[in-house]
Structure 1
Amino acid sequence: MAEKEYGEIIGSNGRPRFGICKNPLESFDLKKLRRYGRDVQGPVSAFRLKRWQYLGVCNEEVIFGLAVVDAGYLGNMFTYAFDRETKELLEYDIIHPLGLATEIKGNSLSGNASFKSGKTDVYMKIGADSIELTAMVKGRLKAELRFERYSEAMNIVTRVGLKGFNYTTKESGMAVSGTIGVGDREFTIEPSQSSGVLDYTFGYLSHYTFWNWASGGGFDKEGRRIGFNLVQGVNETGYTENAFWIDGRMIKTDTIDFQYNDLNILDPWRLVSSDGKVDLTFYPEGERKKALNLGILMSNFHQPFGRFEGTLRDGTTEYQIQTGFGFTEEHEAKW
């Protein structure tokens, strides 16, 4: 894997620096951006710029996720908690026009993300070694979590169509500590039994987008900490963001084929990489879903939660997943 070393997303020629980056990018200054095919510098409409910070954690009891999203013309916070024993799902999805309730500052190494609206107050403090999340949503869903970051993340800049770009930092399988409160019930999150997910994304994305995503982690039969981030349909132009982690060490993998029954999303899924490094089966236990179509704005998705089994390979070494949990996703969007 040829990794590139630089700190800014825009190169000396005024265009995005496409490729896999050794370290997370620190500067997203778009004043130097040259518009494709034109000798004109400066960012295009802020309404086309999308940025979000997503954090998730899974263990044997609960699967939890929360995102702060700045979509330019609107701000969004969504969160959910899925009780794996009772199969109960509590979720909230709050939208504000023009991003008035949303603030995302800094980058994926240092900064913060917040969302405030009525009885909802979310704050993420982003650091190079850890990320802290404090959330109270509608007085019913609360979280106090600390994510211990890896020294190796998947950092990538890819083309979006002819003129756009997308940057993302992904980490999966991180140790997480803290608590999640769902109504009157509280889940204690222990680092030795949890698996955390980070998705930091920034870019000029296509108006119409489709993707499959699988993310999660757990432990193999030898007790090693594992994590994986797998996609198809997005970030596949020249480079992919597909990778898995073994005890914090990242192994890059190639394109992924998502095999699932579109007539019954809760049937088992199979995820296989073209290079033979990934062969996983996913067994859904429940899902969150949405079908929203407002013409220029659309979000149709299924996100099943459940457990993973299978094999990850690095050269001649195989890692058999003993305890794996997380989610898959089918998402079609206009934004």
Structure 2
Amino acid sequence: MTTHEPEITEPVDLCLPDGRLNPAAVGWTRRPLHRANLRGWGRSKRWEYWGVVTPRHIIGVVASSLDYAGLQSVYVLDRTTGAEHNREGLTPFARGALLPPSGGAGTVSASGGGVTVDIDQRADGSWIRATAPGVEVELTVPLPAGHESLGVVVPWSDRLFQYTLKDLGRPVSGRLRLGAATYEISAADSFAVLDHGRGRWPYSARWNWAAGCAPGGRAVQLGGVWTDGTGMTENAVFVDGRLHKIGEELRWSYDRADWLRPWRITGERLDARFTPFHERVSRMNLGVLAGETHQCFGHFSGWAEIGDGERVELDGLVGWAEEARNRW
């Protein structure tokens, strides 16, 4: 289904003074323009996820507040050996978690369960430090001039809605320490992806998300299920930092009995094939909070249309595709 989504070009509050969705906030942006002035407790969700891909490793850093609990985590995959290092900390009622209302601005911090995440966000970039037993990550993620990101507000109703900011293909440098070994991360062959989320969710939710990049070049951002029927989508292609919006609900095809089989994501303006090389499984069951995510890392191929019939090849992009199911 093709959508007709308005582009927002001026700063806007996500919520009205009474906490309901601001109708003027529904649309998409090329840079962070929404201020998530959320009110209330119990359905509000806030998170920052940074995913980093290097030739040797894939790194994931999370700081979040789900109201009932805070979750902070550091994940590392060794692409050579397949070894995973996953450290998670849960904090009751997200005590002490700091997640500012605007993307790319302010300080993010969360700690608990032996995991600490600190992110300093400025106009020229972000600085990330995450520590956990046996793992330490220090990253510098500059924001190149003219670099665009995809911001979208998805409205389920005037009381349930989500603002998501997906920022792909950012250059990244720094270091990763695993035990006694230290690995340098170079911007020449590595990239970072940000998923910034603020909103008020239904109790039960499911989504698909895929992101693929090549250092200094193309990127593809795709989502599904959770946006269906809302009139908004989170689909886009980036070329040299410039966003090309795909206003279309896409078809996702994959085997839930064998997550490592190739995935297909298709539409009128996109035909993407994703071939996984590793599956990460994350499960949580805390009674009122429960979830299961299958995040596969792999390679993209295929094409996307960016206007006037021009196609961008997706071959060579590296990233992930996932399915998540949550009760929260």
Which of the numbers 234, 237, 240 marks the counterpart of 1:241?
A: 234
Contact 1:216–1:228 under 8 Å retained in 2: yes
Q: More deviation in 298-307 or 115-124?
A: 115-124
For 2:88, the aligned partner's letter is D
> 2:120 aligned with 1:120, yes or no?
no
Contact 1:6–1:25 under 8 Å retained in 2: yes
Q: How many equivalent pairs are there?
A: 315
Q: More deviation in 298-307 or 149-158?
A: 149-158
Instruction: Tell me the equivalent position of 2:177.
Output: 181
Unaligned 5+ segments in structure 2 are none
Which of the numbers 286, 290, 312 marks the counterpart of 1:298?
A: 290
Contact 2:119–2:128 under 8 Å retained in 1: yes
Summarize the Cα distance change of 1:324–1:15 in structure 2 as closer, same or farther, 3 Å threshold.
closer
Contact 1:87–1:285 under 8 Å retained in 2: no
Which of the numbers 265, 272, 280 marks the counterpart of 1:271?
A: 265
The 5 A counterparts of 1:86-165 are 86-117=81-112, 119-138=114-133, 140-149=134-143, 151-161=147-157, 163-165=159-161
SS in 1 for 2:288: coil
- Alpha-carbon distance between aligned partners in 1 of 2:183 and 2:302, rounded to the nearest angstrom: 27
Contact 1:58–1:216 under 8 Å retained in 2: no
The 5 A counterparts of 1:277-296 are 278-296=270-288
> 2:20 aligned with 1:9, yes or no?
no
- Alpha-carbon distance between aligned partners in 2 of 1:11 and 1:187, rounded to the nearest angstrom: 47
Q: More deviation in 251-260 or 318-327?
A: 318-327
Summarize the Cα distance change of 1:136–1:148 in structure 2 as closer, same or farther, 3 Å threshold.
same
Deviation at 1:234, TM superposition (A): 1.6
Deviation at 1:147, TM superposition (A): 1.6
Deviation at 1:282, TM superposition (A): 1.6
Deviation at 1:60, TM superposition (A): 2.2
Deviation at 1:101, TM superposition (A): 4.3
Deviations 1:188-237 (A, max 9, x none): 22212112101111010111000111112116xxxx61122211112341
Which of the numbers 297, 310, 316 marks the counterpart of 2:302?
A: 310
Contact 1:50–1:70 under 8 Å retained in 2: yes
Percent identity of equivalent pairs = 28
SS in 1 for 2:188: helix
Summarize the Cα distance change of 1:311–1:183 in structure 2 as closer, same or farther, 3 Å threshold.
farther
- Alpha-carbon distance between aligned partners in 1 of 2:173 and 2:31, rounded to the nearest angstrom: 25
Contact 1:160–1:204 under 8 Å retained in 2: no
Which of the numbers 1, 5, 18 marks the counterpart of 2:26?
A: 18
Q: Output the aligned Cα RMSD.
A: 2.1
Which of the numbers 17, 29, 54 marks the counterpart of 2:37?
A: 29
- Alpha-carbon distance between aligned partners in 2 of 1:92 and 1:160, rounded to the nearest angstrom: 33
The 5 A counterparts of 1:56-67 are 56-67=51-62
Deviation at 1:116, TM superposition (A): 2.1
Q: More deviation in 310-319 or 175-184?
A: 310-319
Contact 2:21–2:161 under 8 Å retained in 1: no
> 2:166 aligned with 1:170, yes or no?
yes
SS in 2 for 1:46: coil
- Alpha-carbon distance between aligned partners in 1 of 2:315 and 2:29, rounded to the nearest angstrom: 31
Deviation at 1:11, TM superposition (A): 5.3
SS in 1 for 2:100: strand
Instruction: Tell me the equivalent position of 1:36.
Output: none
- Alpha-carbon distance between aligned partners in 1 of 2:86 and 2:96, rounded to the nearest angstrom: 19
Summarize the Cα distance change of 1:188–1:280 in structure 2 as closer, same or farther, 3 Å threshold.
farther
Summarize the Cα distance change of 1:235–1:185 in structure 2 as closer, same or farther, 3 Å threshold.
farther
Which of the numbers 321, 325, 328 marks the counterpart of 1:332?
A: 325
> 2:257 aligned with 1:257, yes or no?
no
Q: Which stretches of structure 1, 4 residues or longer, exceed 4 Å deviation after superposition?
A: 11-14
Contact 2:218–2:237 under 8 Å retained in 1: yes
- Alpha-carbon distance between aligned partners in 1 of 2:260 and 2:120, rounded to the nearest angstrom: 35
SS in 2 for 1:47: coil
For 1:282, the aligned partner's letter is F
- Alpha-carbon distance between aligned partners in 1 of 2:201 and 2:101, rounded to the nearest angstrom: 20
Summarize the Cα distance change of 1:148–1:260 in structure 2 as closer, same or farther, 3 Å threshold.
same
Deviation at 1:256, TM superposition (A): 2.2
Contact 2:90–2:113 under 8 Å retained in 1: no
Deviation at 1:127, TM superposition (A): 2.0
Contact 2:73–2:115 under 8 Å retained in 1: no
